[in-house]
Amino acid sequence: MRTAVLVEPTEFELQDRERPTPGPDDVLVAIRDVGICGSDIHYYEHGRIGDYVVEEPLVLGHESAGEVVEVGENVSGLEAGDRVALEPGVPCRRCGHCKRGEYHLCESVEFMATPPHDGAFAEYVSWPADFAYRLPETVSTVEGALCEPLSVGLHAAQRGNVGTGDTVLVTGAGPIGLTVAEAVRAAGATDVLITDVVPEKLAFARERGVDRAIDVRETDLATAVDEYTDGVGADVVVEASGAEPSIRSTLEGVRRGGTVVLVGLSEEAEVPFDVLEVIDNEIDVHGSFRYANTYPAAIDLLADGVVDVEGMVDFRSSLEDVDDAFDRAMEPTVIKGMISLDDA
């Protein structure tokens, strides 16, 4: 089968690999669509993300969906021909975190395209059936693949306990900020403000219906939020840029007694944060890491037309053009590129 393998930073090689054989609890999936995520780009450019280092050739891609072509003997509920979204992180299912349902915190999670685990830029992937979710007819495999970033948004909204009538400030209008915006709307937020430093990203967010798009290069964030909220501040701020100034600015946007959710990963592990402000204003600060139990909700929201992810896609490219696709995906105005494979 065809695979695109990262052999060195900035160097993909198209390799012919043996088609995997599904184990008894697995499904073999002919991959149709795979999103290019910021972490794929980071591995492509730098060969590492923090302690995760690409030491052996690695198949990238963890936002994927495709068609089941074979099922293992223990699998029920899925059959050949079903289209599925693949949840990319598979936990041990036995530890305390798994048993509590917070399986994304399992220390033994094997996550696609995170060294040493291969991802989905491949014709076929064999995957545990309980992490493969059937797509209804009305949900495309592009949408199925983008259940992954949508899940990051849904989890962030849950971490922020976003509720009906809330005003939410999202910092960063990349794919994650945009899925957060979709998720908080679905959770009942009535006012969504978003920031960025790229005018095209802000214009796009505006087209998608955010109530206020703030260019923080030109506009003081605290003033803009105060104006919008009559000096109160946002109920919830979700940081989705990873930019240090933006992380610090979350405290300028949140109301007293409000919640800050940190999703964006800073290049620096330590970012100065005014703890006196946090205490004095009784701010709840939550980390948000990946997601758990979000795929069924993501698929239902897409099937019901409550959220949109397909509109974020700027281009679809082929496995053979993966180098060109990554070059395009790195352009600052591009939101989402996809690698799409022919029908298997």
Ligand X SMILES: NC(=O)c1ccc[n+]([C@@H]2O[C@H](COP(=O)([O-])OP(=O)(O)OC[C@H]3O[C@@H](n4cnc5c(N)ncnc54)[C@H](O)[C@@H]3O)[C@@H](O)[C@H]2O)c1
Question: Which residues form the interface with ligand THR (CB under 6 A)?
Answer: 37, 39, 111, 114, 148, 152, 290
CB of 109 to ligand X, least distance (A): 12
Nearer Cβ to ligand THR (174/253):
174
CB of 75 to ligand THR, least distance (A): 25
Q: Binds 341, which of ligand X, ligand THR, none (CB < 5 to 8 A, cut-off by type)?
A: none
Q: Binds 114, which of ligand X, ligand THR, none (CB < 5 to 8 A, cut-off by type)?
A: ligand THR
CB of 209 to ligand THR, least distance (A): 24
Q: Binds 340, which of ligand X, ligand THR, none (CB < 5 to 8 A, cut-off by type)?
A: none
Nearer Cβ to ligand X (22/174):
174
Amino acid at 53: V
Q: Binds 120, which of ligand THR, ligand X, none (CB < 5 to 8 A, cut-off by type)?
A: none
Nearer Cβ to ligand THR (110/200):
110
Query: Residue 49 pairs with which residues in a beta bridge?
Result: 52
Q: Binds 125, which of ligand X, ligand THR, none (CB < 5 to 8 A, cut-off by type)?
A: none
Q: Give the residues lining the site for ligand X (CB under 6 A).
A: 38, 152, 171-177, 195-198, 201, 216, 240-243, 245-246, 263-265, 288-290
Nearer Cβ to ligand X (151/229):
151
Nearer Cβ to ligand X (105/198):
198
Query: Residue 14 pairs with which residues in a beta bridge?
Result: 4
Q: Binds 197, which of ligand THR, ligand X, none (CB < 5 to 8 A, cut-off by type)?
A: ligand X
Block residue for tokens 């079903």? 82
CB of 206 to ligand THR, least distance (A): 25
Nearer Cβ to ligand THR (111/326):
111
3-state secondary structure the chain: CEEEEEEECCEEEEEECCCCCCCCCEEEEEEEEEECCHHHHHHHHHCEECCEECCCCEECCCEEEEEEEEECCCCCCCCCCCEEEECCEECCCCCHHHHHCCHHHCCCCEECCECCECCCCECEEEEEHHHEEECCCCCCHHHHHCHHHHHHHHHHHHHCCCCCCCEEEEECCCHHHHHHHHHHHHCCCCEEEEEECCHHHHHHHHHCCCCEEEECCCCCHHHHHHHHHCCCCEEEEEECCCCHHHHHHHHHHEEEEEEEEECCCCCCCCCCCCHHHHHHCCCEEEECCCCCCCHHHHHHHHHCCCCCCHHHEEEEECHHHHHHHHHHHCCCCCCEEEEECCCC
CB of 244 to ligand X, least distance (A): 8
Q: Binds 70, which of ligand X, ligand THR, none (CB < 5 to 8 A, cut-off by type)?
A: none
Phi/psi of residue 329, nearest 5 degrees = -65, -25
CB of 165 to ligand THR, least distance (A): 29
CB of 79 to ligand X, least distance (A): 32
